[in-house]
Structure formats: C-alpha cells, structure tokens
Structure 1
Amino acid sequence: MKRGRVSINGQTVSDPATRVRPQDRVECNGRPALYSDETHRYFAYYKPAGLEVSRPARHTGKTIYDALPAALADLDYAGRLDRESRGLLLLSDDGKFIQRVTHPSGGLEKHYRVRVSELTMPTAALIRRFKAGISDEGELLLARNCEVVNRAENTVEVTLSGGRKRQLRRMFRALGMEVTDLFRFRIGELDLDRVGMASGAWLAISPEDVTGSA
C-alpha cells in the first residue's frame, strides 16, 4: 500500500488501517483484489414518518441514524422511504444483499399500503392505469400490481418491482389524488404485518427472511 499500488473506488490509499466496506471496489496494481468477509449483519427497521433516510451529513433534518442505536450506525440502507413515509427499511453491511434488494433484477417486490385524500376514479380504471404505466417528468412509472383494499377509507395496496424517487406519490398525483399516508409493509418475503414490529423498532434478521431462499 505504501508504494501506491492499492486503490479503493479509484482513489489510491496508503494507510493499512483504511476501512473497506463490502461494496467498495478494491484494486491492486490495477487488478481487482479479492477478499472475503462472511460476518455480515442484517436488520429490519420500522421507520417512523418524519425521518430522512440519509446520512446525517447530507441533511440538516433528523435522519434514521439519529433514531437508531450507535451499534447500527455503520450499516447502510437498502432503498429509501421519503421523510413523510413509514414502514419497512432494511439495513446491512452486505453490499451484495443491498444491491439485490434495491435493483429490479434482484426480483424482490416491495408492497405498499397507501391512503389518499379521495379515490377519484373507478377501481378498474385505477388498476389499469397503474399497470399500464403513468408518465411523469419524462419517466414511465409502472406498478406490478394494484388493489383497492378499502374504498371507504381510500386505501390502495400497490406492489412495485423497482422504485423511482417518490414514485407512488407521483403516480397518484398525476391522477389527481394526494397521498396522505404511505406505508411499506413488505419487501420480498419479510412482512411487517406478520412480524408484528412496532413503529421505531428494529430486529436482527437473516437474508433468507427477505429472499426466501438460502
């Protein structure tokens, strides 16, 4: 390292104490360096509304790391929920796991329960529009599935395979409806309704709790 042969994410490093995360790209003499770290940690967190999903240095508001214990401060988050939204968030130091959770190619669906100010269109029409895709800001926003679960309470459950920034709020707004509550209750096989976690709680899990396979 002292000879400048090692780089992390394209930056030359010379300090042997430099910390390497699982998702970092480490090279020696321009070639990938292979290393193994089998002791990863995985947590489910029931994010309350009002917290940013971000590192504290990036926002002046309160973030999830202000609410989490110091022992979890080094974990990264898989995907995001906007400040007003609540529900399931996954935390880990396993870069491959985070990539699988966040990228559509990972095949892990995200399930949301959404309440809007008023359902202003028939159920069949809403489902058709969500599945066909809604154009917003140059992006085609698609839902994997959509179901009106309680029309009297203006509540819809939506399944996404990926997730653009504030996607569900944008989709409903494009149809003239404002989201008043957005709750992510499931990622892959891990379902908050079944686990019974309270808002603000965290729980150690295994990757298989989410992926459903070893």
Structure 2
Amino acid sequence: MTEPLRLSKRMSELGLCSRREADEWIARGWVRVDGVVVSELGSKVLPHQKVTVERQAAAEQSKRVTVLVHKPIGFVSGQAEDGYRPAVVLVTPENRWEEDRAPMRFHPTQLRSLVPAGRLDIDSTGLLVLTQDGRIAKQLVGEDGKVEKEYLVRVEYTRPGRLPDADLKRLNFGMTMDGKKLKPAQVRWQNDDQLRFVLQEGRKRQIRRMCEMVGLRVLGLKRVRIGGVALGDLPQGQWRYLGADEQF
C-alpha cells in the first residue's frame, strides 16, 4: 500500500507552494483534501487524494514578489556574516533600476521573508534572485532542479602553455567533487582569458574549485543568466522586479 505523506510535503511536491507556506495555509483553514478542510498541522494524505487551496491562498501568493539584484563583490547572498552586508540591503526605492517596467510599487512589506534562491559568493558578481515565493525558491534550489545558470569567468592558466583540450573536456564532463560526480557542464572559451560556464547545479564555490583542478586561477566571476532570465543591462548594485512575463 502507498505510504501517506505529510500534507505540507505533498503540497510542495504538487508545486502549489513551499512547505512553509503550506503550513501557514493549513493553519488558516485554506487547504482542502478531497473537498474537506484540513486545518491540523502534521496531517497526512495519500498520493491519490485531491488537494486544493482556497482563493485567499492564491491571492496571498500573487502579492509575493521576486526581485533580481545585480550583486556587487563584497556582499553576501543571505544572512550578514563576518561584518559583510547581505544583498537584500540593496533593495531600496533609491536603488531600483529606473528602466524597470514592472507596474509594482515598492513597499517595505516586500522585504519580509525576501530570501535568496541560490547563492552567489562574496567575491562574485552578477544575477542574484531574492524571492518571497516558495515555488520559485524550490524551482531554483531544489535537489531535482534543472534550471541552467550561466557564468562568465575570467581565468589565468598557472601552468606552462595553454589549457590542454583534454582539460577543457574534463571541465565539461568527468569531474568529481567531495566524492560525488558533477553533472555535465557546458564550458567553452569566450575569448583568450574568459570562459563561459553553464551549470545545472551550484555546489559551494564549484566553478573556482573546478578551475583549480585543471590549473586555472579565477580572476573574476559573473553570473549572467538563470534559466530564461538574463542579467541584461541591470546596473551593478541595482535591482528590478521579475516581470509577469518572465520565467526561469
């Protein structure tokens, strides 16, 4: 017999919301299982049971914002650490890109639960996603995520000559990190001292460590795209809203 699952987990699997949102909606009486309201946290359901949410939940979710930041070097992605400021401090009315066409107006409540969907190292720059929407967070940082992330990486070869083609192939496929095989990547030369990386995963300092394995030193790293959303002309240190017509 199929095992029952926690209702919040099942809602997350169905793409309705994040687990945290699910618990909030269950407590508010906004969730039905086979047409019956379930308001007890920790409730379980079978996979074949029909889970629906009330209109209030959808309305609440539609108010949640997602922000794209061009993170400069020296800011951390998440919580403040070691005296460094988190990227969320850049999300102010003054720092909003003047060419942002989104109809939304900034309000301080949009900063509540605005969390990074994925990391970008303190010494890296480029596109960082901050979101209140658990569905987007799950899509970008979930274990089964398949969203591509694209980077421009300025490098210096620390060995004599140029990087051998065999090592470029290794960067594309065949590397192991922390005892686990890396997913295939797309790595090619952009110009004489810059590589373009496209990854479907984001282990801690992954690109820098990959480069070290083949004798490359990273001099600069910039994330220019996440899925279908590009950094584009967004100036460094500024932000804009994710448009209604944009999808990762």
Following the alignment from structure 1 to structure 2, what is the Cα–Cα distance between the partners of residues 61 and 149?
Answer: 32
How far did 1:59 drift? 4.5
User: Residues 29 and 166 of structure 1: is their aligned pair in 2 closer, same or farther, counting only changes over 3 Å?
Assistant: closer
Following the alignment from structure 1 to structure 2, what is the Cα–Cα distance between the partners of residues 95 and 164?
Answer: 21
User: Residues 185 and 29 of structure 1: is their aligned pair in 2 closer, same or farther, counting only changes over 3 Å?
Assistant: closer
Over alpha carbons, which structure has the higher Rg? 2
Across the aligned residues of Structure 1 and Structure 2, the Cα RMSD in angstroms comes to 2.7
Superposed, 1:66-145 pairs within 5 Å as 66-69=89-92, 71=108, 72-74=110-112, 75-103=114-142, 105-118=144-157, 120=159, 121-122=162-163, 124-145=165-186
Deviations 1:52-110 (A, max 9, x none): 11123x55322213333283532111100010000001111111111101236332100
Instruction: State the partner residue of 2:87.
Output: 64
Contact preservation (8 Å) 1:141, 1:171: no
Following the alignment from structure 1 to structure 2, what is the Cα–Cα distance between the partners of residues 167 and 93?
Answer: 26
User: Residues 29 and 205 of structure 1: is their aligned pair in 2 closer, same or farther, counting only changes over 3 Å?
Assistant: closer
Q: 2:65 aligns with which of 41, 44, 67?
A: 41
How far did 1:175 drift? 1.4
Q: 2:230 aligns with which of 157, 166, 191?
A: 191
Q: 1:51 aligns with which of 49, 65, 75?
A: 75
Q: Which runs of 5+ in 1 are unaligned?
A: 1-7, 10-20
Following the alignment from structure 1 to structure 2, what is the Cα–Cα distance between the partners of residues 22 and 132?
Answer: 33
Deviations 1:17-64 (A, max 9, x none): xxxx954152615316966133221111100111111123x5532221
Contact preservation (8 Å) 2:78, 2:115: no
How far did 1:165 drift? 0.7
Q: 2:241 aligns with which of 191, 199, 204?
A: 204
Following the alignment from structure 1 to structure 2, what is the Cα–Cα distance between the partners of residues 122 and 93?
Answer: 42
Contact preservation (8 Å) 1:136, 1:174: no
Consecutive aligned runs of 4 or more in structure 1 exceeding 6 Å deviation: none
Following the alignment from structure 2 to structure 1, what is the Cα–Cα distance between the partners of residues 220 and 173?
Answer: 24
Q: Secondary structure at the match of 1:112?
A: strand
Instruction: State the partner residue of 1:3.
Output: none
Contact preservation (8 Å) 1:44, 1:91: yes
Following the alignment from structure 1 to structure 2, what is the Cα–Cα distance between the partners of residues 190 and 59?
Answer: 31
Letter in 1 for 2:122: R
Give percent identity, aligned residues only: 26
User: Residues 149 and 184 of structure 1: is their aligned pair in 2 closer, same or farther, counting only changes over 3 Å?
Assistant: same
Following the alignment from structure 2 to structure 1, what is the Cα–Cα distance between the partners of residues 211 and 183?
Answer: 12
Instruction: State the partner residue of 1:30.
Output: 42
User: Residues 143 and 156 of structure 1: is their aligned pair in 2 closer, same or farther, counting only changes over 3 Å?
Assistant: farther
How far did 1:174 drift? 1.4
TM-score normalized by structure 2?
A: 0.67
How far did 1:208 drift? 4.5
- Comparing 108-117 and 58-67, the one that deviates more: 58-67
Q: Secondary structure at the match of 2:171?
A: helix
How far did 1:162 drift? 1.2
Letter in 2 for 1:161: Q
Following the alignment from structure 1 to structure 2, what is the Cα–Cα distance between the partners of residues 97 and 204?
Answer: 14
Tell me whether 1:179 sits opposite 2:213 in the alignment: no
Contact preservation (8 Å) 1:143, 1:158: no
How far did 1:201 drift? 1.0
Letter in 1 for 2:142: H
